[in-house]
């Protein structure tokens, strides 16, 4: 059923009504799991209950509880929009929905996860609006929230609390498999992708023996391969420190007590823990996916060697100056050297990215590698092509970043670059090959086969 610019689509929980924008139908804020509140806080995601009537899906749902990102100085500030109730939601953009329905033609699907150090971010923010990306390749684009910080990665395995954010991502993938055909998407042609923490997540989803067989292609933007999954002993110690900060040792049943703590207090305690653990140049958050817990059976090196990514087509890359985002605003006021930026960028991001690409290309699987070199002309912080710099270009959402230091004042050339980069990514999702002049498959160990943008 479709009314003027307000299409209605059925889902397993009820009908949703979206809105058409420039020929692309957008459905925002769709719950893919029950609200993680009350007894569902610190529990594995459950299917969302049925609703009556038709749910308005013209606006994004709330983000997951979080404090301000440590990269606001790079990307730009966000107005807090979180609410624990209803935060497990996703957004779908599908081009030419009516034509898809008439022809019964299903389009490839991209499930994309935001970054933010497993501590901040939202798939519903306008930074990640999928309209232009969907139109660029005639694909269905889905962005999803997942629990962050202590609500997503507190590690108390004896209470069944482990890698809940990872379990949310798996639940989003499963929702797509069950529902995306109603939106014109093909559940048999799924690409998972993401940037930074989202790229880390995408690798492990594709390499998992449980979720991997459902995934055809992978996009990994600035994946922090230099950051191994968190060691269980370290995660347990950080959980103990967090519980101590909350003052919950002894007394009430711990799980019940944690469920009673206001989200604001959770975030405050997490911020205190992060401050206590902070070290110069350390990019690891206090809590993030734990090795051996659900969704992370092995570190990426072991998963790769075991052939867990075999058969997947891969598009991956980094920005030229990743680590300026973490080092340029040193509280001591000391500007990092170019050598330090390059060394840390290689250790945290580039070396692992190329190791994955080398393995896949050597094994004969289609692999495409980029380096994003674009830097703003006006760059007083000397960020260069910093971490997150390619995001406005990937989604063609340059105007969603007013005053962003990493972007600067957008030029006509920058907008042209966004069209090129976004089309290349969308065409990879659509057919396994990025459509951009001069972008050839990566040859293992050959830096000349890396496509530079900027």
pLDDT in tens, 193-228: 999 999 999 999 999 999 999 999 999 999 999 999
Domain that holds residue 388: 2-231+288-453
Question: Could you tell me the strand order of the sheet in which 107-113 lies?
Answer: 19-21, 24-31, 89-95, 140-144, 107-113, 185-195, 217-221, 313-319, 367-372, 451-453
Least confident of 58-62, 249-253, 263-267, 334-338: 249-253
Residue 256 lies in a domain: no
pLDDT at 38: 97
Q: Give the pLDDT band of residue 251 (cuts 50, 70, 90).
A: low
Q: Give the pLDDT band of residue 79 (cuts 50, 70, 90).
A: very high
Q: H or E stretch including 9?
A: strand 6-11
Residue 274 lies in a domain: no
pLDDT in tens, 21-64: 999 999 999 999 999 999 999 999 999 999 999 999 999 999 99
pLDDT at 149: 98
Q: Note whether 451 and 368 are within 8 A (CB).
A: yes
Least confident of 68-82, 171-185, 321-335, 408-422: 321-335
The pLDDT of residue 10 is above 80: yes
- Using CA atoms, how far apart are residues 353 and 369, in angstroms rounded to an integer? 9
Residue 252 lies in a domain: no
- Using CA atoms, how far apart are residues 142 and 179, in angstroms rounded to an integer? 12
Residue 269: CB atoms within 10 A of its CB come to 21
pLDDT at 328: 84
pLDDT at 246: 97
- Using CA atoms, how far apart are residues 230 and 155, in angstroms rounded to an integer? 10
Q: Note whether 183 and 7 are within 8 A (CB).
A: no
Residue 317 lies in a domain: yes
pLDDT at 282: 75
Count of domains observed in the chain: 1
DSSP for 13-46? TEEEE-EEETTEEEEEEEESS----GGGTTS---
**Mean pLDDT taken over the chain:** 95
Active site residues: 196, 322, 387
pLDDT in tens, 368-392: 999 999 999 999 889 999 999 999 9
Residue 242 lies in a domain: no
Residue 191 lies in a domain: yes
pLDDT at 281: 64
Say which CATH number the domain at 91 has. Answer: 3.40.50.1820
Tell me the average pLDDT across 67-81: 93
Q: H or E stretch including 218?
A: strand 217-221
Q: Bigger pLDDT: 78 or 3?
A: 78
The pLDDT of residue 250 is above 90: no
Residue 276 lies in a domain: no
pLDDT at 98: 76
pLDDT at 1: 42
Residue 152 lies in a domain: yes
Q: Give the pLDDT band of residue 102 (cuts 50, 70, 90).
A: confident
Q: Bigger pLDDT: 278 or 232?
A: 232
């Amino acid at each position: 059923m479709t009314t003027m610019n307000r299409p209605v689509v059925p889902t397993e929980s009820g009908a949703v009504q979206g809105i058409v924008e420039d020929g692309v139908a957008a459905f925002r804020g769709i719950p893919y799991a029950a609200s993680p509140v009350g007894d569902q806080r610190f529990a594995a995601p459950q299917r969302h209950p049925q609703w009556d009537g038709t749910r308005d899906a013209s606006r994004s749902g709330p983000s997951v509880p979080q404090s301000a990102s440590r990269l606001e100085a790079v990307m730009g500030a966000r107005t807090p929009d979180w609410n624990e109730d209803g935060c497990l939601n996703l957004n779908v953009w599908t081009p030419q929905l009516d034509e898809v329905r008439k022809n019964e033609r299903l389009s490839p699907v991209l499930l994309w996860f935001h970054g933010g150090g497993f501590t901040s971010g939202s798939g519903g923010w306008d930074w990640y609006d999928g309209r232009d990306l969907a139109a660029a390749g005639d694909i269905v684009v889905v962005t999803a929230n997942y629990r962050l910080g202590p609500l997503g990665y507190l590690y108390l395995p004896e209470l069944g609390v482990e890698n809940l954010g990872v379990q949310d991502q798996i639940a989003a993938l499963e929702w797509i498999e069950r529902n995306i055909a109603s939106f014109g998407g093909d559940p048999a042609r799924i690409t998972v992708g993401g940037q930074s923490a989202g790229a880390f997540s995408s690798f492990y989803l594709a390499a998992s023996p449980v979720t991997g067989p459902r995934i055809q292609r992978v996009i990994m933007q600035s994946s922090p391969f230099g950051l191994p999954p968190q060691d269980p002993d370290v995660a347990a110690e950080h959980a103990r420190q967090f519980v101590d900060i909350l003052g919950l040792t002894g007394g009430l049943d711990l799980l019940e007590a944690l469920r009673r703590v206001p989200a604001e207090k959770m975030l405050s305690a997490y911020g205190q823990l992060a401050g206590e653990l902070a070290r110069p140049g350390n990019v690891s958050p206090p809590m993030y996916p734990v090795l051996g817990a659900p969704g992370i059976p092995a570190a990426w090196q072991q998963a790769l060697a075991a052939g867990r990514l075999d058969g997947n087509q891969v598009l991956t890359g980094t920005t030229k100056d990743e680590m300026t985002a973490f080092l340029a605003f040193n509280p001591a006021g000391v500007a990092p050297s170019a050598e330090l930026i390059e060394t840390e960028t290689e250790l945290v991001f580039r070396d692992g990215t190329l190791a994955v690409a080398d393995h896949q290309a050597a094994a004969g699987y289609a692999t495409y590698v980029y380096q994003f070199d674009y830097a703003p002309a006006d760059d007083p912080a000397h960020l260069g092509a910093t971490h997150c710099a390619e995001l406005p270009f990937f989604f063609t959402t340059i105007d969603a970043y007013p005053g962003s230091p990493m972007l600067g004042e957008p030029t006509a050339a920058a907008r042209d670059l966004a069209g090129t980069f976004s089309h290349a990514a969308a065409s990879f999702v659509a057919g396994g090959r990025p459509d951009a002049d001069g972008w050839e498959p990566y040859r293992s160990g050959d830096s000349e086969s890396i496509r530079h943008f900027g």
